[in-house]
Amino acid sequence: MAKSRSKVWNRIGSWSFLIGVLIAIIFGAGFLGGLSTNLLYLLVIIGVIIGLLNIADEEVSPFLMSGAVLIIASALGQNVVGTISQLSGILDALLAIFVPATIIVAIKNVFSLARN
């Protein structure tokens, strides 16, 4: 029974990731309107869900490395592509997802290291 529950949580985490990235691209680029405050809150919540449910123990190091690079590249890349509003919006939306996800995974990793 525990295995099926684990599969359900993995599926929720996977769908959260996919939906979050699609929302980030569609609304960040302005295809269906811009990024409202409510959409940013939704993306942050999706990021927390991804951090809690989607990253297994063996995926922590690659996720933290990739997440850190994505956050740095998105934040610094806005200076380069700031004149292209669609790209800037997508980068903002991706930051709203990956900053909380990376923080959650990093905190979980620190607690795991402290436990051992």
**Mean pLDDT calculated for residue range 35-59:** 88
Q: Are 87 and 66 in contact (CB under 8 A)?
A: no
Q: Are 25 and 93 in contact (CB under 8 A)?
A: yes
The pLDDT confidence band at residue 5, using thresholds 50, 70 and 90, is low
Q: Are 29 and 89 in contact (CB under 8 A)?
A: yes
Closest CA to 44 of 109, 104, 85, 88: 104
Q: Give tens-digit pLDDT for 24-39.
A: 889 888 787 778 889 9
- What pTM value is reported for the model? 0.83
Q: Give tens-digit pLDDT for 57-101.
A: 888 899 899 989 988 888 888 778 777 888 888 888 999 999 999
CA distance 105 to 63: 8
